[in-house]
Structure 1
Amino acid sequence: MLHSSPGGAGSGTAASARRLMSIGTVLNQLRDEFPEVTISKIRFLEAEGLVEPQRTPSGYRKFSPEDVERLGYILRMQRDHYLPLKVIREHLDALARGEGVPYPVVSPAPSGELLDVIDGLSGDAGATADGRTAARVGRAELLAAAEVGEGELAEWESYGLIGPAVDGAYDADAVTVAKLVADLGRFGLEPRHLRAVKAAAEREAGLVEQVVAPLRLHRNPQTRAHAEATAREIAALSVRLHAALVQCALRARPS
């Protein structure tokens, strides 16, 4: 049973103080049911006002069992019912007011394939034989997946960070980009800051295309199919190299 209290702040008793947990302990408890949850996710839910842990004089978060129960409830609504945070917050606020509100749902409910796309789990499994991603989502579904508003998405599109196909739908890669841009935005990185990342990605794509273009023009269909597999392999290696180079550059900077 979910408690209506928004968090453990102000409980004050000695017994409850002994039961308070660090964010690491909370993470370990939640991961039994939610393996993908991270400390950053918990902090984000706190920043959005969905949970209010206590703070020690040194500023460390301390979560009550009720906070952990609330976090589990929130994550369950996201995972099982595909609910954006705004809907979850409204539902929890209604519970806190003592209102007997029904469990919120989104209609139509997304298919299992769509949930895989939104959770970033589809990978190559969602790709067709020629390498294109089969799963596609609409604009409203993309907004819900990235937990952003129409204005933010329009701004991303104006900077060329994301865009729909000719039919107005978005593929799995677009969903991933949207979620990453949203996550970076919480650190103060705006779309204008990410234009350099976009330009670098386009240059890397150009390098891949130089390698596989001759294969794609080959008469042998097996060779053409091999071109797509080669492109994906080179792209994966390029991403790993990019990540390693960023880490090296950060380590080389004076602390």
Structure 2
Amino acid sequence: MRHTPTGGAGSAGTTSSDSKPMSIGTVLNTLREEFPEVTISKIRFLEAEGLVEPKRTPSGYRKFTAADVERLASVLRMQRDHYLPLKVIRDHLEALERGERMPLPAPAAPSRDLVEGVSDLDDERPTAARIGRAELLTAADVDEAALADWESYGLIVAHEDGGYDIEAVAVAKLVAELGRFGLEARHLRAVKAAAEREAGLVEQVVAPLRRHRNPQTRAYAEATARELATLSVRLHAALVQSALRVRLP
């Protein structure tokens, strides 16, 4: 079993003096003293991601120790206060377990990327949050006709001032790559529609948190949006793979 990490993420007395193993419901009530928006699904998600490893009873029920609860609290603090992705948090905790001192970065603004790995699609994309049309054409290495075609099908959308979100570069490059296999913009409308529906589901969950008065709760909303978006993308990929196995056994 993992040991409770110390340092880096702070501590606010989230563990109980009772050393008896706790059910997931008891853990939820304990964590909610500091993290009022945490849910059982969130705890299960962190377990699935390898951030905590509770023991299981012979009948399959989770049993958490005080160390497990403090570890969960550390993860939640690092997400809330430092906007760190789970991979960085996992590396940090593992370093602490090895006895290494690994200071956390100072609290900063959250990343624009809500899906882990989006930044890795293009290491040379512009760093500004918004770009102009000419800059988009250059960064994506596409011509005006191609861009106009993609816009006509809603794959890329300009703001009222004519500028584009930086994600448009990655979208343009991926659409161009798919075009090499004969997939045109009209073929990708279903993909765009599915993405809009998935984004809508994420928004339904986090919208109440974003309207909360507590700034920490609003920050938690961003971390939740990233997790939901990443899970949605993973589910989409798994469903595509499953469908392909049926069609291409």
Taking structure 1 as the reference length, what is the TM-score of the superposition?
0.47
State the structure with bigger RCO (CA 8 A, min sep 6), 1 or 2: 2
Looking at secondary structure, tell me which structure has more helix per residue: 1
